[in-house]
Amino acid sequence: MAADTNHGKKGVILIGMPGSGKSTVGKLLSEQTGLPFLDTDALIEAGESKRLAEIISDHTAQGFRTIESAYVQSIQSAGSIISTGGSVCYSGEAMQHLGTLGTIVWLDVAPEILEQRFSDACERGVLIEPGTSLADLYASRFPLYEKYAEIKINASLLTPPEIVSQIRQQLAL
């Protein structure tokens, strides 16, 4: 794919760790730009008629990732603001598909900030293996986020409106 094919894509795909603010930022960005908002976790929950935490507990990590990848690859809404689940980065096919729908923006938040933002990852439906810390999860996902992101926002110390402002500036939205 040529480097300049992303210019003119209106959609924004938000990737990053759980607790990085993807849903909050996505809703705010949607309100400000008038572009539709889609949360892939909500899409999966609606499709499976279960909370994310239940779906994760019913399947192996790989099983959940397969389900997530299938839902993400079914999205046809180019020109939307899409907030993804943190584990979508494990599916190359899903990430390539998302790249056709908009510019992939990584909200990078340091593990110690994520730890402060939420204490019970399992309740939130975070795909994390028992005995694995958020720092471990961050370390395993970092190279994948880095690989797929077209824009990286260091979001650790920014408020959601500040993040939205940076995205809008960088993408001229």
Q: pLDDT digits over 49-81, tens only? A: 999 889 988 998 889 999 999 999 999 988 999
Is residue 5 pLDDT above 50, yes or no?
Answer: no
Q: What are phi and psi of 123, to 5 degrees?
A: -60, -35
Q: What is the pTM of this model?
A: 0.89
Q: What is the pLDDT of residue 124?
A: 55
Cα–Cα distance, 127 to 156 (Å, whole number) = 21
Place 114 in a pLDDT band, splitting at 50, 70 and 90.
confident
Cα–Cα distance, 109 to 48 (Å, whole number) = 29
End-to-end CA distance of the chain: 23
Cα–Cα distance, 170 to 108 (Å, whole number) = 16
- Average pLDDT value over all residues in the chain: 88
For the domain with range 3-171, which CATH number is right: 3.40.50.300, 3.50.50.60, 3.30.497.10, 3.40.605.10?
A: 3.40.50.300
Q: What are phi and psi of 44, to 5 degrees?
A: -65, -45
Place 123 in a pLDDT band, splitting at 50, 70 and 90.
low
| All residues at 6 or more sequence positions from 67 whose CB lies less than 8 Å from its CB, including other chains | 44, 48, 55, 59
